[in-house]
Amino acid sequence: MKLSSGYPLSLIKNGLLFSYPKLEKNIKTDVVVLGGGISGALTAHYLIQQGIHCILIDARTIGLGSTCASTSLLQYEIDSPLHQLIKMVGEKNAVRSYKLGVSAIKKLAALAIKIGMEDFEMKKSFYYAAYKKDIPFLKKEFVVRKQNGLKVKWLDEDQAFEQFGFSCPGGILSDVAAATDTYLLTHYLLQYNINKGLVVYDRTPVVSIKHNRFDVQLKTKEKFIITSKKLVYATGYEVVDFISKPIVKLTSTYAIASEAFNSPVKLGKSNALLWNTAKPYLYLRPTNDNRIIIGGRDEEFFSHIKRDKLIPRKSQQLQKDFKKIFPFISFKTEFSWAGIFGSTKDGLPYIGAYRNLRNSFFALGFGGNGITFSQVAGEIIVSLIKGHQNKDADIFSFER
């Protein structure tokens, strides 16, 4: 599956950062992580930190799937608003899911410092009403978040304009969010852990997998065999190739990045991440190289050919969307791209074992906050591989 296309800003800016070898021999290990994007990199990190020998492999060059197309907004919010998620999975699990998102952002911030990744900035997040009719919905969400200890503030129309300089009926200002460069973060994680014993192979497609009683055997396109006690699938949206039941709905999503401004651009006094209640929702953020990224205009995914043909039109629409919000900022599109976005029935990821595949675990972030859920997945999977119980595993299980 072609996961991204066009000219993702992160890939253009950073290029091919490091070279990783192809697998050219039979090997054995304790754990194989299948997938070299942010989900695989975070899972491998937690495995290495616990002294578990692992190998990470990817069919592509590292980071060239969904990871390089990420707009890298880190929010604790799930695609399902908290008050709706409570009805779907119960109050305890819904609130815990949101609080895990808050914790994940803070842990990722600490991890970025640990591995020397400078392009990581804590921010606030403003979830605003696209239309006046959305205010009752947003106020209900605000009350539920507030009642459950999330640090939020309601901004009415005047307060929102004073804070951000654009007109909207109101919205929720959240204290915890962040912006990063997911492609860069992935490489930094891998390089840090290679120095700790991680082995990484890219350009190594796997053509068959056998789940045996005591191990898993993977056969590569070059006919080499990898034998492992456990296998972690961190293949993101390509999981449809391995899971028999439908668990994710695929959507095409689009993004553009402006030309660099001569000085840092702030989207309001709080310099927050912005997103709204439109369906599909619009989202935007400034970058550390004085650009603005805006994304949205999602469409149901049918094929990458159809998705890619829409990039020019979607780019024009996104630029117009920005102009409506900030008409006084001269936004000129320099880069545009498309990727795949996935949503689940409840907005939650799938993490943990899948009973039909022995000795395997899944780290499938999905949704608008797949990066934060990848952090959560890494911690849960490591505890399960070590034979420990994890109180959060049931929330994200395939059997929920």
CATH number at residue 275: 3.30.9.10
In this prediction, residue 221 carries a pLDDT of: 97
Asked whether residue 146 is assigned to any structural domain, the reply reads: yes
Give 215: exposed, middle or buried? Use CB within 10 Å, 0-12, 13-18, 19+: middle
Asked whether residue 75 is assigned to any structural domain, the reply reads: no
Asked whether residue 103 is assigned to any structural domain, the reply reads: no
Sites in the chain below the pLDDT cut of 70:
1-4, 237-242, 244, 367
Asked whether residue 89 is assigned to any structural domain, the reply reads: no
Final residue in a domain of this structure, among 343, 367, 388 = 343
Indicate if 280 and 353 belong to the same structural domain: no
Indicate if 259 and 358 belong to the same structural domain: no
Instruction: Give the E-state strand segments of 152-233 in sequence order.
Output: 152-156, 170-180, 199-201, 206-211, 216-220, 225-233
Indicate if 334 and 392 belong to the same structural domain: no
Give the orientation angle of helix 182-194 with respect to helix 91-115, to 10 degrees.
70
In this prediction, residue 26 carries a pLDDT of: 98
In this prediction, residue 301 carries a pLDDT of: 81
| Cα–Cα distance list, 261 to 264, 276, 286 (Å) | 7, 24, 11
Indicate if 283 and 363 belong to the same structural domain: no
Final residue in a domain of this structure, among 343, 358, 373 = 343
In this prediction, residue 270 carries a pLDDT of: 75
Indicate if 229 and 329 belong to the same structural domain: no
CATH number at residue 242: 3.50.50.60
Indicate if 326 and 269 belong to the same structural domain: yes
Asked whether residue 218 is assigned to any structural domain, the reply reads: yes
Asked whether residue 95 is assigned to any structural domain, the reply reads: no
In this prediction, residue 109 carries a pLDDT of: 98
| Cα–Cα distance list, 181 to 9, 131, 260 (Å) | 10, 31, 16
Asked whether residue 87 is assigned to any structural domain, the reply reads: no
In this prediction, residue 249 carries a pLDDT of: 82
Asked whether residue 16 is assigned to any structural domain, the reply reads: yes
Indicate if 370 and 266 belong to the same structural domain: no
For the residues of 1-58, what is the DSSP string, one character each? ---EEE--HHHHHH------PPP-S-EEEEEEEE--SHHHHHHHHHHHHTT--EEEE-
Indicate if 48 and 130 belong to the same structural domain: no
Domain range enclosing 163:
122-176+249-343
Task: Find out whether 255 and 282 touch, Cβ atoms under 8 Å.
Answer: no
Indicate if 262 and 315 belong to the same structural domain: yes
Task: Find out whether 43 and 232 touch, Cβ atoms under 8 Å.
Answer: yes
| Separation between Cα atoms, residue 357 and residue 34, nearest integer Å | 14
In this prediction, residue 93 carries a pLDDT of: 97
In this prediction, residue 4 carries a pLDDT of: 66
Final residue in a domain of this structure, among 319, 343, 367 = 343
In this prediction, residue 238 carries a pLDDT of: 67
Q: How many structural domains are present in the chain?
A: 2
Indicate if 195 and 240 belong to the same structural domain: yes
Indicate if 162 and 261 belong to the same structural domain: yes
Indicate if 141 and 260 belong to the same structural domain: yes
Give residue 399's Cα distance to chain centre: 23
